[in-house]
Amino acid sequence: MDLNIRGKVAVVTASSRGLGKATAEALAAEGVNLAICSRDEAAINRTAGAIKEKYQVEVLAEVCDVKDRSGIENFKDKVIRHFSTCHILFANAGGPAPGKVEQFSEEDFREALDLNLFSAINLVTAFLPFMKQQKWGRILASTSISVKQPIPTLALSNVSRAGVVAFIKSLSREIASLNVTANTLAPGFIMTERVENLLENQAENQGITYDEALANIIDTIPAKRIAAPEDFGALCAFLASEWASYITGETILIDGGMYRGLM
Ligand SMILES: NC(=O)c1ccc[n+]([C@@H]2O[C@H](COP(=O)([O-])OP(=O)(O)OC[C@H]3O[C@@H](n4cnc5c(N)ncnc54)[C@H](OP(=O)(O)O)[C@@H]3O)[C@@H](O)[C@H]2O)c1
């Protein structure tokens, strides 16, 4: 199926690897030009080079820490100077450190909010005006299955992501009539460096091997596997497509059936 977004411009943040990179690749495969960023210059340039070579699209790669509002402003200026507009935004960031509620200070919670909530707010603030003006836009924000079912060992993530859902849901109603959709993605377990690190952490805390920690997680997933980043990228590309124009204000799980609730 042609997703009908060839030639559009997508901003995909935190995209040198993992879910951001997979989303950038899935969009590039549809002929979408990209502005990508992460904190490590060599890593983001490597990713940009690989995508350009494979998909023959334009890729602007910048260093940007999405925790930093002025960094986002600076990134936006470069994107607009280069592409003049933005049609698709995937507001993505790294994940906060694992741990339980009582392990963390107020400062830790504030940092997690900067990383996962305020980055999304600041990215939307930067790029939404262009979508409104052209009456076409797709906003996607990364969260986690934890917005439906908090994960006991990820207190910072549980707290910081709930606000993203409230932000995107509130926003979606304000902009729907302008043909701009806004949705949140809620992945369960998708095999990236982040998940590898979390498994290493669980193995260490529980005195088990990495493979045992992996088997324990897979046991909780009805699909009996951890997804590949490409599974996530394909979902994002569809939600960014012309065909997803009537899907907005949703939190979409991609979890192999792991969430146990009804709604
Ligand atoms: N994978 C999963 O199963 C899963 C499940 C639920 C939620 N999530 C969440 O989804 C998001 C992406 O996860 P992932 O698995 O792709 O993580 P990952 O494999 O650790 O990749 C993180 C990416 O974000 C970049 N990054 C980290 N902090 C950044 C910052 N402050 N500013 C800009 N870029 C930053 C990293 O590059 P640099 O190091 O170069 O900055 C890297 O490209 C995270 O918030 C994660 O917690 C993932």
pLDDT tens string 217-243: 999 999 999 999 999 999 999 999 999
- Categorize the per-residue pLDDT at 78 as very low, low, confident or very high, splitting at 50, 70 and 90: very high
d(CA 98, CA 146): 13
The correct answer on CATH 3.30.1360.150 for the domain covering 9-188+228-253 is no
Average pLDDT over residues 1-25: 98
CA 210/CA 189 separation, integer angstroms: 15
Confidence band of 247 (pLDDT split at 50, 70, 90):
very high
In this structure, how many other beta carbons lie within 10 angstroms of the beta carbon of residue 105? 8
Ligand 1 pocket (Cβ < 6 Å) reads 14-20, 38-40, 43, 64-67, 92-95, 115, 142, 144, 157, 187, 189-190, 192-195
Residue type, 153: T
Per-residue confidence (pLDDT) for residue 4, from 0 to 100: 97
Mean of the pLDDT values across residues 182-207?
A: 97
**Among 38, 221, 225, 254, which is best to mutate for testing ligand 1, by the most ligand atoms less than 8 A from CB?**
38
Domain boundaries along the sequence of the chain = 9-188+228-253, 191-226
Residue 62: predicted pLDDT:
98
Percentage above 90 pLDDT, the chain: 100
pLDDT tens by residue, 83-129: 999 999 999 999 999 999 999 999 999 999 999 999 999 999 999 99
The whole-angstrom separation of Cα 130 and Cα 86 is: 6
Of ligand 1's listed atoms, the one at least distance from the Cα of 227 is 3
**What spacing in Å lies between the alpha carbon of 206 and ligand 1's midpoint?**
24
pLDDT tier at 161 (50, 70, 90 boundaries)? very high
2 CA distance to ligand 1 centroid (A)? 28
pTM recorded for the entire structure: 0.98
CA of 177 to the centre of ligand 1 (A): 32
Q: Whose CA is nearest to atom 9 of ligand 1?
A: 95
**pLDDT on residue 112:** 98
Would you say how long the chain is, in residues? 263
Q: Please give the share of the chain, as a percent, with pLDDT higher than 70.
A: 100
How does the average pLDDT of the chain come out, rounded? 98
